[in-house]
Amino acid sequence: MPTTHSLPPARRDRDRRPAVAAAIVVLLFGAVGAALVALVVLDPAAAAHAPGASAYAVADVEPAPELSLTDQDGEAFTLGDPGRPTLVFFGYTHCPDVCPETVGVLTQAVGLAGPGPQALFVSIDPERDDVAAMKSYTRYLPDWLIGLTGTPFEVRTNADRWGVKYATVEAEPGETGYGMAHTSDVFLVDAAGRLRARFPFGTPPETIAAYLGDLLREAPVADAASPGPASATSVAPAPTAPPTTASTTPATRMTPTPAAPDATSAPPTPAPATTPPSTAAPAAAQLLPEVVSTSVWAREHAPVILRATDASGAPLDAGDAVSVQLVRFADGTPVGAPVTATAVLPAGERRPYFVVDLDIPDPGAWRLVVRTGDAEGSVPVQALDPGATSPIGAPAPDIDTPTLDDVGGVVRAVTTEPAPDLRLSTTSTADARATGTPYVIVIDSSRFRVSPACGRALAMIEVLVDRWPNVDFIHLEPFRYQVVTEEPVLDGPITDPPLNRWAAAWGLGDATWPATDMPWIFVVDGQGIVRAKATGIVGTADIDVVLSELLGAPSRPTS
């Protein structure tokens, strides 16, 4: 008879509907030039509930966001009106898994659809992915795949337009370099430059191929037999005007066919085109600010982490006086007074971060005007609705999260991570509160992957445990499950996972942030007050900079 482990009655949720999620390995793609092979693994149960083809379609078909960067040949590139179906994805050449897997999926999809489409691989790691690196990376890839890069400011600006988030994640101890956490969706743009679909990581190549086939029938590509980087899209950069809501392409080029996806029947998809456009091309006297925070919150006195360089690319110094003015995105009207930023230099960093606490009245698009001396620059920012999540500035939930001692040392009863760092399961939130110790709680699951970012927060946070010996790092599995013969078994469907009472106490699972939005990280100070929080794509700086400011790491006010 299988052995079942669960939390003691005083500290567990009732178990009701056990269900085992089946793992599915989707595909291998063949060699392209050199031997390039990648394995795509889907979320165990997500494939069983995969959406229909129309679910990937964008509900409101509008011009795609602007994309103006430099290709692997050093030529200026603007997406504009591409004249062929175009797949767009953001990644980086040092990516060990998601990016090569995406290349493999797109290779199969284009092979199934036939000649004509192109793909754009936009680097989110400009520090390493310069033109030469992109040229080397794309050398053995299909000639219809174009690599794009730019300066850090240009890359961030373009990613913001598409609603793409990314953050640097430090390498684990003993490893070199760093990784990038990033949005892994693939966007589909039609021949007239309109955004038509958005495919999450793990979408089968057959589905993408079906969309490509529909678009090829709508607007056949004249030179489909020999697509390549020297396409009509490699032109001088277009001006960075805000995207319009009407297509600039004659409607005759976009006559729908009966086989085209039914965009009107698809559920709403967050449209990257609604992400605020960037500022105009930087002038010599401008600052080039960048928002490092991966989650910026409205209606809370919340920290926002920034970095900035001057027009030459030189970073600001920690001694520079920096102020930030919140303005409305639509008309530039100031909201409140300028706020002085604090320079923070975490251990091992050479470039300072600047932290500013802002009161953003409402969720949506805003702009930050950053000034130092007589220089200024602005950057768009998307403020998130905190919903019912524990507010920044308020006491953390008065709960006692489970530890290894509470479950008799049964590791799988407190973590589903394959190779867990057990230091994250030895202290409860109640223990930290009782001793007045600051803590970071990571609400995430490796086994029950309900979002592409699941598991990444755990891998990232393990880098910080040794750096912050006076901080308690706590891992909390978010869902109710049992352990049956060493296997975690979810108490419900993966499409509607049941939150346990500890995760629910943090305000998760409401209409704004349902249980399928994971992971979450909350930073709590020694007085038990929530000082920061982040969800989804989270970078090392999101936590490290906040802790550095709270605990007196080298930092000082900028004025």
Given this model, what pLDDT does residue 171 score? 80
Assess whether pLDDT exceeds 60 at residue 294. yes
Assess whether pLDDT exceeds 70 at residue 322. yes
Assess whether pLDDT exceeds 70 at residue 44. no
In whole angstroms, give the CA distance from residue 204 to residue 200. Answer: 10
- DSSP 8-state symbol, 527: T
Q: How confident is the model at residue 55 (pLDDT cuts 50, 70, 90)?
A: confident
Report which of residues 191 and 18 the model is more confident about: 191
User: Torsion angle of alpha carbons 32, 109, 536, 356, nearest 10°?
Assistant: 70
Q: What is the DSSP string of 354-381?
A: EEEEEE--SSEEEEEEEEETTEEEEEEE
Assess whether pLDDT exceeds 80 at residue 41. no
| pLDDT one-digit tens code per residue, 373-424 | 999 999 999 999 999 999 999 999 999 999 999 999 999 999 999 999 999 9
- Domain ranges (residues) in the chain: 1-30+395-528, 51-274, 287-383
Flag the least confident range among 136-150, 217-231, 273-287. Answer: 273-287
Given this model, what pLDDT does residue 542 score? 96
Flag the least confident range among 26-35, 85-94, 394-403. Answer: 26-35
Assess whether pLDDT exceeds 70 at residue 34. no
Report which of residues 421 and 259 the model is more confident about: 421
In the predicted model, what is the mean pLDDT of residues 268-293? 59
User: Please, are residues 159 and 90 in contact by the beta-carbon 8 Å criterion?
Assistant: yes
Domain topology for 51-274:
Glutaredoxin (3.40.30)
In whole angstroms, give the CA distance from residue 351 to residue 418. Answer: 35
Cβ neighbours for 286, distance < 8 A, ≥ 6 positions apart: 279, 310, 311, 375, 376, 377
User: Please, are residues 220 and 83 in contact by the beta-carbon 8 Å criterion?
Assistant: no
Tokens for 146? 């174009």
Prediction pTM value: 0.77
- DSSP 8-state symbol, 516: T
User: Please, are residues 484 and 4 in contact by the beta-carbon 8 Å criterion?
Assistant: yes
Q: Which residues of 17-27 are buried (b: 16+ CB within 10 A; e: fewer)?
A: eeeebeebebb
With 0-12 / 13-18 / 19 or more C-beta atoms within 10 angstroms meaning exposed / middle / buried, residue 494 is buried
Flag the least confident range among 133-137, 202-206, 261-265. Answer: 261-265
| Residue listed under structure tokens 């080397």 | 136
In the predicted model, what is the mean pLDDT of residues 119-132? 97
CA dihedral for 207, 24, 179, 355, sign (positive or negative): positive
Given this model, what pLDDT does residue 58 score? 92
| pLDDT one-digit tens code per residue, 514-536 | 999 999 999 999 999 999 999 99
The 3 state secondary structure assigned to 432-495 is HHHHCCCEEEEECCCCCCCCCCCCHHHHHHCCCCCCCCCCEEEEECCECEEEECCEEEECCCCC
Q: How confident is the model at residue 54 (pLDDT cuts 50, 70, 90)?
A: low
Helix (H) or strand (E) holding 58: strand 57-63
| pLDDT one-digit tens code per residue, 450-469 | 998 888 899 888 889 988 99
Given this model, what pLDDT does residue 266 score? 34
Flag the least confident range among 423-427, 483-487, 554-558. Answer: 554-558
Report which of residues 459 and 113 the model is more confident about: 113
Assess whether pLDDT exceeds 80 at residue 15. no
Q: What kind of architecture, by CATH, is found in domain 287-383?
A: Sandwich (2.60)
Strands of 132-242 (E only): list them.
145-149, 166-170, 178-182, 186-189, 194-199
- DSSP SS3 for 286: strand
In whole angstroms, give the CA distance from residue 473 to residue 465. Answer: 7
Q: Kindly report the average pLDDT of the chain as a whole number.
A: 82
Assess whether pLDDT exceeds 80 at residue 506. yes
Given this model, what pLDDT does residue 40 score? 30
Cβ neighbours for 237, distance < 8 A, ≥ 6 positions apart: 68, 76, 77, 78
In whole angstroms, give the CA distance from residue 266 to residue 477. Answer: 32
Assess whether pLDDT exceeds 50 at residue 32. no
Report which of residues 301 and 13 the model is more confident about: 301
| Helix-, strand-, coil-residue percentages of the chain, each rounded to 5 | 20, 30, 55
| pLDDT one-digit tens code per residue, 139-168 | 999 999 999 999 999 999 999 999 999 999
In whole angstroms, give the CA distance from residue 6 to residue 88. Answer: 44
Assess whether pLDDT exceeds 70 at residue 245. no
User: Please, are residues 202 and 42 in contact by the beta-carbon 8 Å criterion?
Assistant: yes
Given this model, what pLDDT does residue 341 score? 97
Sheet with 439-443, edge to edge strand ranges: 472-476, 439-443, 520-524, 530-535
Q: How many CB atoms lie within 10 A of CB 420?
A: 18
Given this model, what pLDDT does residue 172 score? 72
Given this model, what pLDDT does residue 211 score? 96
- How remote is the C-alpha of 358 from its chain's centroid? 22
User: Torsion angle of alpha carbons 507, 512, 517, 521, nearest 10°?
Assistant: -40
Tokens for 551? 């605990």
In whole angstroms, give the CA distance from residue 382 to residue 183. Answer: 15
Half-sphere exposure of 550 (CA within 13 A, CB side): 24
The phi, psi pair for 226, rounded to 5°, reads -140, 60
User: Please, are residues 384 and 293 in contact by the beta-carbon 8 Å criterion?
Assistant: no
Q: Identify the CA nearest to 169 among candidates 535, 464, 523.
A: 464
End-to-end Cα separation, the chain, in angstroms: 68
Helix (H) or strand (E) holding 109: helix 98-113
Given this model, what pLDDT does residue 222 score? 62
Q: Please calculate the CA angle 517-519-521 and round it to the nearest 5 degrees.
A: 125
